[in-house]
Structure 1
Amino acid sequence: MDFRRVKDYFSWLYYQYQIISCCAVLEPWERSMFNTILLTIFAMVVYTAYVFIPIHIRLAWEFFSKICGYHSTISN
């Protein structure tokens, strides 16, 4: 793939992000604050999902395996 086309595509995606989130009308310092807060919230959601979803899946597996009568050999 051509590097120029990839760069243009990412520029287009960033432009779409600015239009959808109304960042295009913000001043540069407001835009950086908005992007920082949005990135922080996104990072917190990803981290929380990384930490807690496996625990919930394991607990659900244990619950449903007890209901179905399947005994797991996985030790805690």
Structure 2
Amino acid sequence: MFEKLAEDYAKCKRYVKWLYLLYELNTQIAICEPWEKVFLNILLGSCMSLFLYASFAYVPGYCLSVFHLLWPMASAQNLNAGSACTSNIDGFCGNESEVVLT
């Protein structure tokens, strides 16, 4: 049993290394020096994290609509739950007198 587990772990490790090699080759980072690779990986990670944060912090309605388009089962479960939410003109739940600051 442990031999099978060790073999699966080795396959997974090889697969992750292969994916990282593809990432390096596709982004042309493979030709850079090690310190440049670290700098570019940090830069790319920072840009991606800022983009994800901004999309969820400033555009939640659009993110929710994309989520419902990609995973329709999750939105169907929310509709079947029978929530007592009344949507206003903008499509958000809640009373018009409520003010939510972000």
TM superposition score normalised by structure 2:
0.55
Identity of aligned residues (%): 24
Seen in structure 2, the aligned counterparts of structure 1 residues 22 and 8 have a Cα distance that, compared at 3 Å, is same
Partner Cα separation in structure 1 for residue 89 and residue 28 of structure 2: 45
Q: List runs of 5+ in structure 1 lacking aligned partners.
A: 66-71
CA RMSD of aligned residues (A): 2.7
Amino acid aligned to 1:3 = Y
Counterpart position of 1:40: 46
Q: List runs of 5+ in structure 2 lacking aligned partners.
A: 65-86
Q: CA deviation at 1:53?
A: 2.2
Partner Cα separation in structure 1 for residue 30 and residue 63 of structure 2: 41
Partner Cα separation in structure 2 for residue 38 and residue 63 of structure 1: 39
Seen in structure 2, the aligned counterparts of structure 1 residues 64 and 21 have a Cα distance that, compared at 3 Å, is same
Amino acid aligned to 1:53 = V
Q: CA deviation at 1:6?
A: 1.1
Report the 3-state secondary structure (helix = DSSP H, G, I; strand = E; otherwise coil) of the residue aligned with 1:74. coil
Counterpart position of 1:69: none
> 1 or 2, which has the higher helix percentage?
1
Seen in structure 2, the aligned counterparts of structure 1 residues 73 and 53 have a Cα distance that, compared at 3 Å, is closer
